[in-house]
Amino acid sequence: MKEGWLLSIFILASITIAFSGYHAINYFEYGGGLTVDEYRACFSPDGFLNESYTYDVKSDFTMLYRVWDVPLLYNKSLNEPFVQLIDMNCSYIPYVKDYYGNVYSSGIYSDIIREKAYLNEAGCYNPDGYERGRYEIDYSYRIYPPVEYDGELYHMNIKFAGQHVPYKNFKIVLDNSSGTIRKIFSHPQFSIEKDGSRYILEGKSQKNGLLEVELLLNSSNQRFLYETNNVKEKTISANERYYAGYKIAEAFSYLMKGMVFLFPAILLLVYYLFGREKKFVVPKYLSFVPKKRKPWRVNLVFKGSATHFDKDGFYATLLDLHVRKIIEIENGDDIKIKILKKDGLDDYESKVVSFLERHSENGIFSLNSFKDEINEIESASRITALRNEMGGLYSVRDAKEFIINGRLSMAIFSSIAFLIFIISFFLYMSYFDKYPVLFESFSYSFLFFIQFLSTVSAPPTLFGRWKKEYYKEKMEWDSFRRFLLEIAQLKKYESKDISIWKEWLVYATALGAGKKVSKEFKKLGIRLPEADYIPSMYISFAALNATMQSKYSSLTSRSGGGGGGGFG
């Protein structure tokens, strides 16, 4: 496949990851089986709070509720900051499970609610389950928060939501009819509009996102008053730090989101800098061997991805050794290979000849005899060693001379992306309660890592390069293979010397076209004994590998067991 198409596939994959991830993140933040379509709250600095929830139920629920992080009481008081429920209104059975675990509800359902509900929870129970639709619940509270005072100003912090389902819309109204509010700080930072004596905050809040306000007041409920110094300075300073931190977290989130959606451009840049090849002009058909090379190396470097060696390289090597009269192949009911000499061999060829020699009798390797040898093995360690020995014939890695492996570069980039993901995960786990936007930076950093990780599977020359002019040679081998597979082209060379046809058959096998080319030779009336060896080798060695795998599986999957004695 041409590099342009391969690059397009990886770009399309990265776009798919980006948009699929975007929808998944958005669904987690603002979707799900239960959401709050509208949250309305009206708070007065004297402590009165009215809340209204409009739930959108899309799944199976029997309880709709809200939980407080501070003690919740009903018609009771406490000697520490607490929230007192005054009233609530809903369509089914209202209930409260207070700070002490006491349940206030319809008597017949109290035990069920006590078992299911959290402490400090108020809600509405439907024993038959809520049908899909919208439901409204209203609450009225009197809040007694801790209040700091320095002799001039009062400081109060009201947390409307922490752990919660998504709020698709919220509107918080701060009633300042008493004129006591001096300064408002929202967490996270929302725009605040003034409407007469009211301050209004509007927006949306993701799942489990912080939603709170911090107030500086001229006066306040003094039930839980704590004296301190410099209330104004401390509050402003703390919020300046908070907003600065939030802007950094938000910028990081935008950066990661941008990197994910700009990843196709990043891939194009990497390809342009590291993977783009020189332009060469090569004919569509090449009627000669581009360069005299060992067939196993042609298979490894020029057949496919430049680092992948397969069985075709092994078969081509056997055929080449036969043509060079290093070995002699006899084809019949049993493939027999006679070792004639061992001179002039490279490392891989020596490995092949040594294997044949170790499993031969009187210098002749018999495929049937080798099958018998495999079937007679009863040791898992022996069959494993033999399987590994055979596997070594199909495993060659020696392409550094020819290419700069792009997979290594993409692995390095993936490692950097993974490091960014780990940092994002740490920040998310540590600071999400303060900066809910960190969920997006964490999520998008994971998508960024996945995008880079997918490129590691790319062919080594897509984001890497061929050295020197080996890319031209690669194109020439492709043209030569194309020539061998085109019978109309082969007809032009029917008068060629038989040695040329043998050489072409060897390289055709190395390039994965041996079986088809041997058939074309027969159609042209070119009689080569070697043309009959190729289909026989494929079939016979495939059967040998199946025998090996079957024996290996039977010996290595056995498990020990024990039996019990008795009287029958």
Q: What is the predicted pLDDT for the residue at 565?
A: 36
Q: Are residues 308 and 244 both part of a single domain? A: no
Q: Number of structural domains, the chain?
A: 2
Q: Which two structure tokens, joined as six digits, stand for 53? A: 């929830």
> Does residue 487 belong to any structural domain of this protein?
yes
| Of 182, 217, 248, the domain-final residue | 248
Q: Is residue 363 a part of any domain in this protein?
A: yes
Same-domain check for residues 304 and 234: no
The answer on 112 and 218 residing in a single domain is yes
Same domain, residue pair 336 and 236: no
**Per-residue pLDDT averaged across 387-391, rounded?**
90
Q: What is the pLDDT of residues 234-267, one digit of tens each?
A: 999 999 999 999 999 999 999 999 999 999 999 9
Return the higher-pLDDT residue of 11 and 560. 11
Report yes or no on 104 lying in a domain: yes
Half-sphere exposure of residue 336, counting CA atoms within 13 Å on the CB side?
A: 11
Same domain, 309 and 170: no
Query: Is 318 found in the same domain as 233?
Result: no
Percentage of the residues of the chain whose pLDDT score is greater than 90: 73
pLDDT interval class at 487 (50, 70, 90): confident
Average pLDDT over residues 523-534: 81
Residue 496 in this model has a pLDDT that exceeds 80: no
Query: For residue 156, what pLDDT is reported?
Result: 95
Report if residue 114 sits inside a domain.
yes
Residue 360 has pLDDT above 70, yes or no: yes
Count of other CB atoms within 10 angstroms of residue 130:
21
**563 assigned to some structural domain:** no
Q: In this predicted structure, what is the pLDDT of residue 534? A: 83
Rounded-to-integer distance, Cα 374 and Cα 376, Å: 5
Q: CA 165, CA 284: separation in Å to the nearest integer?
A: 63
158 and 237 housed in the same domain: yes
Predicted local confidence at residue 494, as pLDDT: 65
Q: Tell me the per-residue pLDDT of 212-227, one tens digit each, with 9 for 90 and over.
A: 999 999 998 888 999 9
**106 and 214 fall within a common domain:** yes
pLDDT at 1: 54
Residue 428 belongs to some domain of the structure: no
**pLDDT-based confidence at 568, cuts 50/70/90?**
very low
User: 0.85 exceeded by the pTM?
Assistant: no
pLDDT(175) > 60: yes
CB atoms within 10 A of CB 22: 17
CA 294/CA 343 separation, integer angstroms: 15
DSSP string of 480-507, one letter each residue = HHHHHT-HHHHGGGTTS-HHHHHHHHHH
- How confident is the model over 330-348, as a mean pLDDT? 90
Instruction: State the pLDDT at residue 287.
Output: 87
Range of the domain at 386: 295-401+465-552
pLDDT at residue number 517: 87
Last residue of a domain, one of 248, 269, 304: 248
Which segment, 165-179, 278-292, 472-486, is predicted with the most confidence on average? 165-179
One domain for residues 60 and 119? yes
Task: Report pLDDT for 173.
Answer: 97
My answer on whether 379 and 236 are in the same domain is no
Q: Please, which residues have CB within 8 angstroms of residue 486's CB and are 6 or more apart in sequence?
A: 285
- Say if 253 falls within a structural domain: no
What is the rounded average pLDDT of the residues 506-520? Answer: 90
Q: In whole angstroms, give the CA distance from residue 437 to residue 431.
A: 10
Give the model's pLDDT for residue 563.
Answer: 36
Residue 260: inside a domain:
no
Q: Assign residue 220 the CATH number of its domain.
A: 2.60.40
Residues 204 and 325 in one domain: no
Within this chain, do residues 153 and 55 fall inside the same structural domain, yes or no?
yes
Query: Using one digit for the tens of pLDDT, what is the confidence trace for 114-153?
Result: 999 999 999 999 999 999 999 999 999 999 999 999 999 9
Closest CA to 474 of 270, 315, 286, 313: 286
Per-position DSSP letters for 454-470, written without gaps between them: HHTTS-TTTSSEE-TTH
Buried b (16+ CB within 10 A) or exposed e, 283-314: eebbeebbeebbbbbbbbbbbeebbbbbbbbb
* DSSP H or E segment with residue 479: helix 470-484
Q: Cα(222)–Cα(374) distance, rounded to whole angstroms?
A: 90
Max Cα distance, the chain (Å): 111
Does a cis peptide bond (omega within 30 degrees of 0) precede residue 188?
Answer: yes
Contact 201, 71 (CB under 8 A): no
Which one-letter amino acid corresponds to residue 127? P
pLDDT of residue 492: 76
- What percent of the chain clears pLDDT 70, i.e. is strictly above it? 97
* Residues 61-113 pLDDT 10s: 999 999 999 999 998 999 999 999 999 999 999 999 999 999 999 779 999 99
